[in-house]
Structure 1
Amino acid sequence: MLTIGDFASLGRVSVRMLRHYDSIGLLPPAAVDPHSGYRYYTAAQLGRLNRVIALKELGLTLAQVRAILDEAVDLVELRGMLRLRRAQLAAQVAADTARLSSVEARLHMIETEGRMTSQDVVLKQVPSIRVAELSAVARSYEPADIGPVLTPLYPELFRRLEAAGVNPAGPAVAWYDQAVDGDGVVVHAGVGIEGSRQAVGGITVVELPAITAATTIHHGPMDTADRSLQVLARWIEENDWRTDGYARELYVEYWPEEADKGVTELQLPVRRA
């Protein structure tokens, strides 16, 4: 048999924890020396200890763990519970990562306030363009919600265009609309094409209308575009214009794997106040 110290080491827990588990009847030792009071365990008890730790990691109380183990949870059930918890934790990590990215972007925007001025803004007429596009709905206009929805659309768009034998004409463009039911934002990923096609291999073809836009060049990843939009907002206010929808994003030079080197023209539709 194993001493409590050896059993603790093999189970990667503390001796204090084992004593507590014994006191509440969760994992009593296999034997106790009647003279010294030393606790002894068997190697087979490591299986129960592993289940105790695993169930604790699921967020259960020790009382709940004891109740479950006393009902003899089998390996298949335990594996299923752990896989569910793993999925929950992965989702939580992804959400926390997205929030961290958003906070960092906001912090960077605050730190760079004043470095870009309204002199970086150009008012121009953006001509209409025929584009092939795919769309999806994002929860909000926040970068953390837009990016995961928009980014996968482009590989699929170009795959379909290639299958249809259609060559893109010009850089990619993204634009946004409020969802019809008001819940979320419709995200459009498009690229210019030549000719008057109405449909291409299951891809929608639309005519993006000409607009009057306040434009600026954004350098870097799109999750930091808020600082450039802030510059556009300042220019619009200073020059008595009003926004007329979401900004279009013309990807002059942009690759997701090299987002830090991205060059994007932000085109914010405007009208006279």
Structure 2
Amino acid sequence: MLSIGEFSKICKVSTKTLRYYDEIGLIHPKDINPENGYRYYSIRQLKEMLLINRLKSYHFSLEEIKTILDTDEDQAEEKLIFSLQRKRQEVQAKIHAYEYTLTQMNQDMLRAEKGKSMMSWLDDIEVELSETQPINILYIRQTLSSDDYALGYEKHFSRLYERIAVDKLTLLGTPMTIYHSPEYNPAGNDTEFAIPIEETVRGTRVLRAGLCAKSVLKGPYAELTSVYAKLREWVEDEDYELAQSPYEVYVTNHQQAVVPENIVTEVYFPIRKKRGNCHAKKRLANCRPGSLGHRRRKTV
């Protein structure tokens, strides 16, 4: 048997931390002296503690580690392998994100060295007019906080795909998210998750056709705020106004994209010309299908 001090020294974990692990049920002392309260650990528990340390170094939370350790013995190895695979994907995604950040920093430094503004990269974001067609969508509408978005996207899109598979519905396009809140609120935002399908069934509605300002982002979702800013500036400069809630179409699955640069997202701002502007109405007419000013896009 090892005293808590010796166990602490070998595993390089403070006695305070060991007591906390005992409280949350992560690892319990093998024995506690009822007279003086001294805690003792077995030699076999060294491996358990080293496993905990190893999983912590892989950025598992204590709650995740506890779930792994509490798994039935006959399923423990399978659970551990599955957990490691998912964590490896998370770590790899963070590595790619850091690599992308370094690329951006290098580009900003290069601009600065050439005497350009750091924000000049906004000029590289292209905006085009797109006349969209009506889209029948299967949807789930929820209010999500900023902390819920990552899990929310996976959860709600999974539910929609499951419904499509169970009811044998016909898929017509890639997932999309429509943002209905008039302003950003970290506590909760009105968000609609949708997938285009052919059938009109319970839980579907039609996303109206109309003129949109459109941009395509090739890169991580963190860059979407820049696209939104560029689109909003363009809408104002071109004398338009927003007609409906903006939405995003996810052309690629972020989980299948090896690097962030391969993620493709289309952003749409439904718009109309500001009322009472004759010049604006003329330009709107020039952007209708068949006109020289119209730029076609493939149907989502």
**Which TM-score band applies after superposition, normalised by the shorter structure?**
0.5 to 0.7
Mean Cα deviation higher: 215-224 or 108-117: 108-117
Q: Is the 8 A contact 1:172 1:191 kept in 2?
A: yes
| 1:239 corresponds to | 238
**Alignment partner of 2:196 out of 188, 192, 196:** 192
| TM-aligned CA deviation for residue 239 of structure 1 | 1.5
Aligned-partner Cα distance in 2 for 1:70–1:272:
83
Aligned-partner Cα distance in 1 for 2:240–2:233:
10
| TM-aligned CA deviation for residue 151 of structure 1 | 2.5
Structure with more of its chain in strand, by fraction: 1
Change (3 A) 1:247 1:73: farther
Task: Verify: 1:124 aligned to 2:130, yes or no.
Answer: yes
| 1:223 corresponds to | 222
Larger Rg over CA atoms:
1
Q: Is the 8 A contact 1:118 1:235 kept in 2?
A: no
| TM-aligned CA deviation for residue 116 of structure 1 | 4.0
| 2:51 corresponds to | none
Aligned-partner Cα distance in 2 for 1:70–1:113:
69
| TM-aligned CA deviation for residue 120 of structure 1 | 1.0
| TM-aligned CA deviation for residue 131 of structure 1 | 0.9
| 1:54 corresponds to | 18
**Alignment partner of 1:176 out of 169, 179, 191:** 179
| TM-aligned CA deviation for residue 53 of structure 1 | 4.5
| TM-aligned CA deviation for residue 161 of structure 1 | 0.7
Mean Cα deviation higher: 252-261 or 215-224: 252-261
Aligned-partner Cα distance in 1 for 2:156–2:222:
17
| 2:204 corresponds to | 205
- The correspondence of residues 38-117 of structure 1 with structure 2, limited to 5 A, is 52-55=16-19, 86-87=62-63, 111=108, 113-117=119-123
Identical counterparts, % of pairs: 16
Q: Is the 8 A contact 1:121 1:214 kept in 2?
A: yes
Deviations 1:111-168 (A, max 9, x none): 573224277101222222111122332114xxx6533212222222112111111120
Mean Cα deviation higher: 252-261 or 156-165: 252-261
| 1:30 corresponds to | none
Q: Is the 8 A contact 2:130 2:213 kept in 1?
A: yes
| TM-aligned CA deviation for residue 249 of structure 1 | 0.8
- The correspondence of residues 153-172 of structure 1 with structure 2, limited to 5 A, is 153-172=156-175
Aligned-partner Cα distance in 1 for 2:7–2:39:
22
Instruction: Indicate the SS of the match to 1:234.
Output: helix
| 1:19 corresponds to | none
Aligned-partner Cα distance in 2 for 1:149–1:114:
34
Aligned-partner Cα distance in 1 for 2:178–2:35:
58
| 2:264 corresponds to | 263
Unaligned runs of 5+ in 2: 23-33, 41-60, 67-90, 109-117, 275-300
Aligned-partner Cα distance in 2 for 1:119–1:270:
18
Letter of the structure 2 residue corresponding to residue 54 of structure 1: L
Q: Is the 8 A contact 1:216 1:266 kept in 2?
A: yes
Deviations 1:39-88 (A, max 9, x none): xxxxxxxxxx9764534789xxxxxxxxxx9996999xxxxxxxxx9459
| 2:80 corresponds to | none
Change (3 A) 1:52 1:206: same
Aligned-partner Cα distance in 2 for 1:189–1:134:
5
Letter of the structure 2 residue corresponding to residue 12 of structure 1: K
| 1:12 corresponds to | 9
Aligned-partner Cα distance in 1 for 2:152–2:9:
42
Q: Is the 8 A contact 2:4 2:15 kept in 1?
A: no
| 2:78 corresponds to | none
Letter of the structure 2 residue corresponding to residue 226 of structure 1: T
Superposition RMSD in Å: 4.6
Instruction: Indicate the SS of the match to 1:253.
Output: coil
